[in-house]
Amino acid sequence: QVIKCKAAVMWEVNKPFSIEEVEVAPPKAHEIRIKIVATGICRSDDHVVTGAMVMPFPIILGHEAAGVVESVGQGVTSIKPGDAVIPLFVAQCGECNSCLNTKGNLCSKYSLSNSIGSAAGLMPDGTSRFTCKGKAIHHFLGTSTFSEYTVVHESAVAKIDSAAPLEKVCLIGCGFSTGYGAAVQTAKVEPGSTCAIFGMGGVGLSVVMGCKAAGASRIIAVDINSDKFDKAKELGATDCVNPKDFKKPIHEVLIEMTGHGVDYSFEVIGHSETMVAALASCQYNYGVSVVVGMPPAAQKITFDPMLIFSGRTWKGSVFGGWSKDSVPKLVADYMKKKFVLDPLITHTLPFTKINEGFDLLRTGK
């Protein structure tokens, strides 16, 4: 059956979301139709709204969610209607070289580059499951969670504990996992080390939690909005630094604070200048800097190669380096109270107020 439901459709760049009635087609072979229970708002969604991330319009955004399976297509055996699930914007076929290698978490077949840019906005078979006012609507990162129902490929969904509170664990679909994993998986922060995190949004705060869980002795939160610092301290930051309070560049401030630079730095904003500043702020020989923030499409980086010649490591991390199999384990860890999610949730709004949600995101609230 085709399902008619509400979705937040983005008709064109730099316009508000429009709550529309859309038709959601039934799942085809190896696809799953999900009733979305809760979805988070992430800066990456806003990058599409502003045009910093180029996607085809009209489109249904959203990629951080949890829901319940409504129906499954032919050939789906691992998941059944009624299962609690988290859609994955990092799909995994489980068979390509990348999926079979434990060093990374990005699939070659369903690569992120296929879901961003010109090839984007469609299911793996090259068609859409959404229509509105007679027009096909594009998918976003294979998830499109700003809809009461969505269709995803079976490679892009993780079955989770049905007892988990979906309005909390939806954050494991992106924000929490991305930040926490950048610290514990990608950087592999060690006990006693010193860390600096640039950007104290939901993902940056999750990096703070990851550094604390890994036993870092000093965790320096960096943000130009000092209102973020109370929450950062609550979650484990030992120092908070606002670059606006200093005349000198922030990397010099961090080197002076630590004597030689931090062991690990994380850029969780998505600006090329702060990526270079984060690299420069880590120890010149064995420091590791991780790019966590989504870089806008048009930006390029210019930096002094001496910054890495002496031994620094510059790494990137998508979805915290977690694989599809990690998601149910993270949910299980949450249920065992190994980490908290409540402090990351600042507002809970009805779906029809999604534009208000984005206003709160843009004003740093």
pLDDT of residue 85: 98
Q: Which residues of the chain have pLDDT under 70?
A: 113-119
- Which residue among the candidates 5, 18, 30, 42 is catalytic per the annotation? 42
Tell me if residue 326 is catalytic: no
Find residue 130's DSSP bridge partners: 24, 137
Tell me if residue 170 is catalytic: no
Place of tokens 């209607």: 81
Place of tokens 């789906």: 76
Find residue 9's DSSP bridge partners: 18, 60
**Cα distances (Å, whole numbers) of residue 190 to 185, 267, 288:** 11, 18, 12
Place of tokens 């070659």: 108
SS3 at position 267: strand
CA angle centred on 164, ends 163 and 170, rounded to 5°: 150
Structural tokens at position 107: 């699939």
- Which residue among the candidates 44, 115, 144, 326 is catalytic per the annotation? 44
pLDDT of residue 114: 65
Q: Greatest CA separation found in the chain?
A: 64
Tell me if residue 211 is catalytic: no
Structural tokens at position 178: 């991305």
Structural domains of the chain, with CATH: 3-175+321-357 (3.90.180.10), 187-316 (3.40.50.720)
- Which residue among the candidates 93, 107, 174, 195 is catalytic per the annotation? 174
Tell me if residue 251 is catalytic: no
Tell me: the pLDDT tens digits for 266-277?
A: 999 989 999 999
3-state secondary structure 279-326: HHCECCCCCEEEECCCCCCCCCCCCCCHHHHCCCEEEECCHHHCCCCH
- Extended strands (E) in the chain: 3-10, 18-24, 31-39, 59-60, 65-72, 84-87, 130-132, 135-137, 149-153, 157-159, 194-198, 218-222, 239-241, 264-267, 288-291, 313-316
Question: Which of 166, 171, 144 lies closest to 83 in space, CA to CA?
Answer: 166
- Which residue among the candidates 63, 138, 139, 251 is catalytic per the annotation? 63
